């Protein structure tokens, strides 16, 4: 059943409403090396019976459990299902989005430079109905410090030598 429908059989008015969940698109912002909590259920339709069901899987009908994590954007972004830090013990779950500490990361972004990352999620009602939508995360780069490279040189006592010290800067 789609939308709201009114029927008047024998003088009795019956109003039926769509009960399927309707996941709505979400967005968030993340500074490189930081993390962000996103309540993707807050703007989704379906009342209190809906729950976060799946993350960025080819088959969104397969559940992603609390504590599970998925990697998106070529392993750069880590997305975890965690308990809402603003409501501990509530059993209400949100997404924790952060740069993957063991992945390629976003060091290539210069300070203030942004890139958008999009991934999918699904919600499910108690009756089994599933709805999918997207989350768009805008990642903003920070100025990463240059890293000095090891160098060695030899010199005789009372003599001079020349050479160069090198450094790499991921933002450049």
Q: pLDDT digits over 72-119, tens only?
A: 999 999 999 999 999 888 888 899 999 999 988 898 899 999 999 999
* Most confident segment among 11-15, 104-108, 144-148: 104-108
Domains along the chain? Answer: 19-143 (2.60.40.10)
Report residue 11: phi and psi, to 5°.
Answer: 85, -5
Is residue 66's pLDDT more than 90?
Answer: no
Which has the higher per-residue pLDDT, 126 or 111? 111
pTM of the complete model? 0.73
pLDDT of residue 152: 79
Torsion of CA 158, 162, 167, 172, to 10 degrees: 150
pLDDT of residue 153: 75
Which has the higher per-residue pLDDT, 99 or 56? 99
Burial class (CB in 10 A: 0-12, 13-18, 19+), 132: middle
Is residue 62's pLDDT more than 90?
Answer: no
pLDDT of residue 9: 58
């Amino acid at each position: 059943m789609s939308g709201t429908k009114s029927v008047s059989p024998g003088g009795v008015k019956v109003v039926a409403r769509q009960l399927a969940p309707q996941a709505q698109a979400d967005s968030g912002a993340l500074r490189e090396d930081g993390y962000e909590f996103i309540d993707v259920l807050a703007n989704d339709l379906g009342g209190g019976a809906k729950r976060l069901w799946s993350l960025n899987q080819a088959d969104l009908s397969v559940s992603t459990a609390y504590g599970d994590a998925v990697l998106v954007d070529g392993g750069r972004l880590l997305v975890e299902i965690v308990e809402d830090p603003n409501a501990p013990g509530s059993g209400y779950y949100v997404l924790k989005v952060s740069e993957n500490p063991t992945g390629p990361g976003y060091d290539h972004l210069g300070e203030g430079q942004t890139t958008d990352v999009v991934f999918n999620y699904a919600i499910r009602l108690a009756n089994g109905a599933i709805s999918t939508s997207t989350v768009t995360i805008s990642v903003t780069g920070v100025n990463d410090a240059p890293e000095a490279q090891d160098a060695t040189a030899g010199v005789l006592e009372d003599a001079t030598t020349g050479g160069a010290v090198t450094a790499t800067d991921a933002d450049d």
